[in-house]
Chain A
Amino acid sequence: TQLLEQSPQFLSIQEGENLTVYCNSSSVFSSLQWYRQEPGEGPVLLVTVVTGGEVKKLKRLTFQFGDARKDSSLHITAAQPGDTGLYLCAGATTDSWGKLQFGAGTQVVVTP
Protein backbone atom coordinates (compact mmCIF):
# COMPACT_ATOMS: atom_id res chain seq x y z
CA THR A 1 0.00 0.00 0.00
CA GLN A 2 1.40 3.37 -1.08
CA LEU A 3 0.99 5.97 1.67
CA LEU A 4 1.90 8.69 -0.81
CA GLU A 5 -0.46 9.27 -3.72
CA GLN A 6 1.03 10.92 -6.78
CA SER A 7 -0.95 12.56 -9.57
CA PRO A 8 -1.20 12.46 -12.42
CA GLN A 9 0.21 9.03 -13.17
CA PHE A 10 1.29 10.11 -16.65
CA LEU A 11 1.88 13.50 -18.25
CA SER A 12 2.84 14.20 -21.85
CA ILE A 13 3.59 17.79 -22.88
CA GLN A 14 5.36 19.79 -25.56
CA GLU A 15 8.71 21.45 -25.01
CA GLY A 16 8.26 24.91 -23.51
CA GLU A 17 5.05 24.13 -21.62
CA ASN A 18 4.73 24.16 -17.85
CA LEU A 19 3.69 21.23 -15.68
CA THR A 20 2.86 20.44 -12.08
CA VAL A 21 2.86 17.07 -10.34
CA TYR A 22 1.38 16.41 -6.93
CA CYS A 23 2.18 14.22 -3.97
CA ASN A 24 -0.46 13.75 -1.25
CA SER A 25 -0.76 11.78 1.96
CA SER A 26 -2.86 11.55 5.09
CA SER A 27 0.36 11.13 7.08
CA VAL A 28 2.63 13.86 8.40
CA PHE A 29 6.23 13.64 7.29
CA SER A 30 9.32 15.07 8.92
CA SER A 31 10.85 15.47 5.48
CA LEU A 32 9.90 14.87 1.91
CA GLN A 33 12.16 14.21 -1.04
CA TRP A 34 11.70 14.32 -4.78
CA TYR A 35 13.67 11.97 -7.03
CA ARG A 36 13.86 11.59 -10.81
CA GLN A 37 14.41 8.17 -12.34
CA GLU A 38 15.41 7.53 -15.94
CA PRO A 39 15.03 4.16 -17.70
CA GLY A 40 17.58 1.61 -16.59
CA GLU A 41 18.85 3.79 -13.76
CA GLY A 42 18.19 4.26 -10.08
CA PRO A 43 16.38 7.34 -8.74
CA VAL A 44 18.45 10.52 -8.29
CA LEU A 45 17.63 13.02 -5.56
CA LEU A 46 16.40 16.44 -6.72
CA VAL A 47 15.50 18.12 -3.43
CA THR A 48 14.66 17.61 0.25
CA VAL A 49 12.06 19.78 2.01
CA VAL A 50 11.62 19.73 5.78
CA THR A 51 9.65 22.80 6.86
CA GLY A 52 5.90 23.22 6.37
CA GLY A 53 5.25 25.85 3.69
CA GLU A 54 8.82 25.63 2.43
CA VAL A 55 9.46 26.51 -1.22
CA LYS A 56 12.69 25.55 -2.97
CA LYS A 57 13.74 26.49 -6.47
CA LEU A 58 16.30 24.69 -8.60
CA LYS A 59 16.60 26.50 -11.94
CA ARG A 60 13.28 25.72 -13.68
CA LEU A 61 12.01 23.40 -10.95
CA THR A 62 9.98 24.71 -7.97
CA PHE A 63 9.17 22.44 -5.03
CA GLN A 64 6.65 23.22 -2.32
CA PHE A 65 5.97 21.43 0.97
CA GLY A 66 2.44 21.84 2.35
CA ASP A 67 1.89 23.78 5.57
CA ALA A 68 0.75 20.61 7.35
CA ARG A 69 3.68 18.59 5.92
CA LYS A 70 1.29 16.10 4.30
CA ASP A 71 1.59 17.11 0.67
CA SER A 72 4.01 18.52 -1.87
CA SER A 73 4.13 19.71 -5.43
CA LEU A 74 6.74 19.97 -8.15
CA HIS A 75 6.36 22.62 -10.83
CA ILE A 76 8.52 22.69 -13.97
CA THR A 77 8.63 25.87 -16.03
CA ALA A 78 9.36 25.74 -19.76
CA ALA A 79 9.89 21.98 -19.82
CA GLN A 80 12.67 20.52 -21.95
CA PRO A 81 13.09 17.00 -23.37
CA GLY A 82 15.80 16.43 -20.75
CA ASP A 83 13.11 16.70 -18.07
CA THR A 84 11.61 13.43 -19.27
CA GLY A 85 11.58 10.80 -16.54
CA LEU A 86 9.72 9.22 -13.65
CA TYR A 87 9.28 11.70 -10.79
CA LEU A 88 9.02 10.06 -7.38
CA CYS A 89 8.16 11.65 -4.07
CA ALA A 90 9.31 9.97 -0.85
CA GLY A 91 8.49 10.84 2.73
CA ALA A 92 10.20 10.08 6.01
CA THR A 93 8.54 10.05 9.42
CA THR A 94 10.25 11.09 12.62
CA ASP A 95 10.62 7.54 13.90
CA SER A 96 11.59 5.91 10.63
CA TRP A 97 15.39 5.76 11.00
CA GLY A 98 15.67 7.45 7.63
CA LYS A 99 13.30 4.95 6.02
CA LEU A 100 11.49 6.42 3.02
CA GLN A 101 7.96 5.68 1.79
CA PHE A 102 7.81 6.19 -1.98
CA GLY A 103 4.86 7.14 -4.10
CA ALA A 104 4.16 5.29 -7.37
CA GLY A 105 5.57 8.15 -9.42
CA THR A 106 4.49 10.41 -12.26
CA GLN A 107 5.85 9.56 -15.70
CA VAL A 108 6.63 12.80 -17.52
CA VAL A 109 7.32 12.87 -21.27
CA VAL A 110 8.44 16.11 -22.91
CA THR A 111 8.45 16.03 -26.69
CA PRO A 112 10.43 18.48 -28.86
Chain B
Amino acid sequence: EAGVAQSPRYKIIEKRQSVAFWCNPISGHATLYWYQQILGQGPKLLIQFQNNGVVDDSQLPKDRFSAERLKGVDSTLKIQPAKLEDSAVYLCASSLGLPPYNEQFFGPGTRLTVL
Protein backbone atom coordinates (compact mmCIF):
# COMPACT_ATOMS: atom_id res chain seq x y z
CA GLU B 1 0.00 0.00 0.00
CA ALA B 2 1.18 3.55 -0.68
CA GLY B 3 2.61 5.43 2.26
CA VAL B 4 2.08 9.00 3.40
CA ALA B 5 3.14 11.43 0.67
CA GLN B 6 4.49 14.90 1.35
CA SER B 7 5.67 17.71 -0.86
CA PRO B 8 7.87 19.52 -1.33
CA ARG B 9 10.77 17.61 0.28
CA TYR B 10 12.86 20.75 0.71
CA LYS B 11 12.06 24.43 0.83
CA ILE B 12 14.26 27.48 1.39
CA ILE B 13 12.63 30.84 1.97
CA GLU B 14 13.50 34.18 3.49
CA LYS B 15 11.94 35.37 6.74
CA ARG B 16 8.57 37.05 6.38
CA GLN B 17 7.78 35.01 3.26
CA SER B 18 4.95 32.47 3.09
CA VAL B 19 5.18 28.73 2.54
CA ALA B 20 2.77 25.83 2.22
CA PHE B 21 3.23 22.10 2.66
CA TRP B 22 1.01 19.35 1.30
CA CYS B 23 0.23 15.91 2.71
CA ASN B 24 -1.66 12.95 1.28
CA PRO B 25 -2.33 10.34 3.99
CA ILE B 26 -2.75 6.60 3.62
CA SER B 27 -6.10 5.78 2.09
CA GLY B 28 -8.75 5.14 4.73
CA HIS B 29 -6.86 6.73 7.60
CA ALA B 30 -9.24 9.04 9.43
CA THR B 31 -6.67 10.74 11.63
CA LEU B 32 -4.00 13.08 10.28
CA TYR B 33 -1.24 14.80 12.23
CA TRP B 34 1.23 17.58 11.49
CA TYR B 35 4.43 17.64 13.54
CA GLN B 36 7.35 20.03 13.73
CA GLN B 37 10.75 18.45 14.37
CA ILE B 38 13.55 20.86 15.20
CA LEU B 39 17.09 19.51 14.88
CA GLY B 40 18.03 17.51 17.96
CA GLN B 41 14.47 17.22 19.23
CA GLY B 42 11.61 14.80 18.91
CA PRO B 43 8.54 15.61 16.84
CA LYS B 44 6.14 18.12 18.41
CA LEU B 45 2.47 17.88 17.49
CA LEU B 46 1.12 21.01 15.81
CA ILE B 47 -2.37 19.88 14.86
CA GLN B 48 -4.47 16.71 14.75
CA PHE B 49 -7.45 16.15 12.46
CA GLN B 50 -10.14 13.51 12.80
CA ASN B 51 -11.62 13.32 9.29
CA ASN B 52 -11.91 17.02 8.44
CA GLY B 53 -12.40 18.28 11.99
CA VAL B 54 -9.69 19.59 14.31
CA VAL B 55 -9.17 17.47 17.45
CA ASP B 56 -6.15 19.28 18.89
CA ASP B 57 -4.38 22.44 17.78
CA SER B 58 -3.21 23.60 21.19
CA GLN B 59 0.43 23.87 20.11
CA LEU B 60 -0.17 25.50 16.74
CA PRO B 61 1.06 29.14 16.65
CA LYS B 62 -2.18 30.40 15.22
CA ASP B 63 -0.91 33.90 14.53
CA ARG B 64 1.23 32.54 11.71
CA PHE B 65 0.38 28.87 11.16
CA SER B 66 -2.80 27.52 9.62
CA ALA B 67 -3.88 24.08 8.45
CA GLU B 68 -6.85 22.58 6.71
CA ARG B 69 -8.04 19.17 5.67
CA LEU B 70 -10.71 19.53 3.06
CA LYS B 71 -12.96 16.53 2.39
CA GLY B 72 -11.14 14.61 5.13
CA VAL B 73 -8.30 13.47 2.89
CA ASP B 74 -5.40 15.72 1.83
CA SER B 75 -4.11 18.43 4.11
CA THR B 76 -2.09 21.60 3.77
CA LEU B 77 -0.06 23.43 6.41
CA LYS B 78 0.78 27.08 5.82
CA ILE B 79 3.15 29.47 7.52
CA GLN B 80 2.67 33.19 6.96
CA PRO B 81 4.92 35.01 7.67
CA ALA B 82 7.82 32.70 8.39
CA LYS B 83 10.38 33.36 11.14
CA LEU B 84 13.92 32.08 11.50
CA GLU B 85 12.84 29.76 14.33
CA ASP B 86 10.42 27.98 11.98
CA SER B 87 13.39 26.20 10.37
CA ALA B 88 12.62 22.53 10.98
CA VAL B 89 11.35 19.35 9.39
CA TYR B 90 7.57 19.26 9.09
CA LEU B 91 6.23 15.73 9.31
CA CYS B 92 2.79 14.54 8.35
CA ALA B 93 1.43 11.29 9.80
CA SER B 94 -1.80 9.37 9.54
CA SER B 95 -3.43 6.59 11.50
CA LEU B 96 -6.61 4.57 11.70
CA GLY B 97 -7.11 6.26 15.07
CA LEU B 98 -7.66 3.13 17.13
CA PRO B 99 -6.00 3.51 20.54
CA PRO B 100 -4.06 2.08 22.23
CA TYR B 101 -2.39 0.38 19.27
CA ASN B 102 -2.55 3.66 17.45
CA GLU B 103 0.29 3.22 14.97
CA GLN B 104 1.12 6.44 13.21
CA PHE B 105 2.58 6.21 9.73
CA PHE B 106 4.87 9.10 8.89
CA GLY B 107 5.74 10.71 5.60
CA PRO B 108 9.35 11.62 4.74
CA GLY B 109 8.86 15.22 5.86
CA THR B 110 9.54 18.65 4.38
CA ARG B 111 12.77 20.28 5.46
CA LEU B 112 12.20 24.03 5.75
CA THR B 113 15.08 26.49 5.97
CA VAL B 114 14.23 30.10 6.76
CA LEU B 115 17.03 32.58 5.98
Please report A residues at the B interface, Cβ cutoff 8 Å. Answer: 2, 4, 6, 30-31, 33, 40-45, 48, 50, 88, 90, 92, 97-100, 102-105
Contact = CB atoms under 8 A, between A and B. Distances in A.
Interface of B: 4, 31, 40-45, 48, 50, 55-56, 91, 93, 95, 97-109
Contacts of A6: 42
Contacts, number: 71
Contact of A45 (B50, B55, B104, B107): B104
Interface core residue of A33, A42, A100 (most chain B CB under 10 Å): A42
Contacts of B41: 2, 104-105
Nearest to B99: A98
Contacts of A44: 106
A97 B101 contact: no
A105 B56 CA distance: 23
Nearest to A31: B100
Contact of A42 (B44, B45, B108): B108
Contacts of B98: 98
A75 B106 CA distance: 24
